[in-house]
Amino acid sequence: MKVRKKIALGMSGGVDSSLSAHLLVEGYDVTSVFLECWRAPSCHTDEDRADALKVALSLNIPFQVLDFKQTYRDSVVQAFFDDYKAGRTPNPDIACNKEIKFGLFYDWAMENGFDAIATGHYAKIIDGKLAIPADKHKDQTYFLYQVSEDQLKHVVFPLENITKPEVRAEAEKRSLHVKDKKDSVGICFIGDIDVHSFLKDELGENPGPVVDLSGNIIGKHNGLWFYTIGQRHGFEIDKRSLITTENGKIERQNFPPFYVVSKKQKENQLVVGFGTETEQSQFSVRDIHWISRSQPENLSNLLVRIRHTGELLPGNLQKNKVKLGEPIRGISPGQSAVFYQKQGEETICLGGAIIDEVVFDS
């Protein structure tokens, strides 16, 4: 008799992980695991745990709760605040996957005799490589670039060949009680919060000037940590300072939207621009991570993504410098640049790095 592999499935109480449980029990010995990482009204922890438990009971599979709240606070949330205070824009979902789901949870599963973990991520594994899944719109490989090839040997993504509409349809067919539950949004495990208020409660306010690319003061901001590169709201512009003067100052009578271009930490200045002023194509990176144990050989024909579900842009990497094939808006220090390559019909995620400093195009 063939022994069924033991799978520890991370269950959030949502439709994706709930359907994953239904799919996995058809071929694996499944234990459902609810990861408790945060307690606040915004994250609906009790409701989500009850939904996950109900699914586990309906399938007659074990259910376990792991308490990772302290580590999540120390390793994910505190880093979130520290980065914003330093003028960067972090991505807590990437940190969450590294520290919690493919950190503590993965380690717990390996130490307790499981053959693999499974999650409801939209991602695919092909020949031991991380790849973009069937649902390219829901693709979550951007958040997963810090996994290793050794880990991927012990990971299952049940939804790799299923689109979100198909997940909903299958959940309806199987009468899952969470079939119409809304997708989780916002910060991993925290939920859809007002980030401005979240930061204000922790960091307060620190008002300062808004300046254009020439250094002219044209408005004011409430604190650099409230803004990210590419943002076009939340700061005040004094339109009187933009009217044409006799000495030939550029006329901006129509007042096009201004976007955040950079932050000057020492001067506490928020730099804004509009149009092509806001677009760059070169930046440096740090903390490069390759999923494979060895660096890929050809880094001259990469596809680069600078935000989740962002366009895959042609680019290359030389040492720690990234050059995109075309300038874009919103390259933000603290976010991640994730690197891909086409391999036949598949798009493989090679790894990624933290965006460090943007080089302004001349």
Q: Tell me which residue of 3, 215, 14 sits closest to 122, measured CA to CA.
A: 14
Contacts of 93 (CB under 8 A, 6+ apart): 143, 187, 188, 308
CA dist 97 and 113 (Å) reads 21
Residue type at 144 in one-letter notation: L
CA dist 312 and 340 (Å) reads 8
Task: Kindly list the catalytic residues.
Answer: 96, 188
Q: Tell me which residue of 5, 48, 8, 14 sits closest to 31, measured CA to CA.
A: 8
DSSP strand pairing (208-211 vs 269-273): parallel
Q: Cβ distance 133 to 63 under 8 Å?
A: no
Which structure tokens are listed for 344? 């036949």
Distances (CA, A) of 124 to 9, 71, 212: 16, 28, 44
Phi and psi torsions of 169, nearest 5° = -65, -40
